[in-house]
Amino acid sequence: MTKRDLVMRIADETGLIQQDVYAVIQKSLDYIVEALENDDTVEFRNFGVFEVRERKQRIGRNPNKPENVVTIPARKVVKFKPGKIMRERITGE
């Protein structure tokens, strides 16, 4: 599903104009990214939690030339943990 698919589906079901739906979805995504930029956790009950975690610096090797050692620098990554209802619907547990 793309953002366009989501906009069209919400507009069809609610009767709202696609441009208005797009603006709301885009603004929501912008605020989520902004919160993650500030190292805040974004939590949607029953959907899931987005959080920023720091990956430690580590050593990497080329499998074809294992003698070449490369240092992979530390970096931030976004992790997603699904909520209870999403996990149950997806996994059937």
Please give the tally of structural domains in the chain: 1
Q: pTM score, two decimals?
A: 0.79
Q: What is the pLDDT of residues 6-42, one digit of tens each?
A: 999 999 999 999 999 999 999 999 999 999 999 999 9
Give the domain CATH number at 13: 4.10.520.10
Where in the sequence is the domain holding 56, given as residue range(s)?
A: 3-91
Task: State CA 74 to chain mean position distance.
Answer: 20
Note whether 14 and 21 are within 8 A (CB): yes
Rounded to 5 degrees, φ, ψ at 38 are -90, 15
pLDDT in tens, 32-73: 999 999 999 999 998 999 999 999 999 998 888 888 888 999
39-42 long-range contacts (CB < 8 A, ≥24 apart) are: none
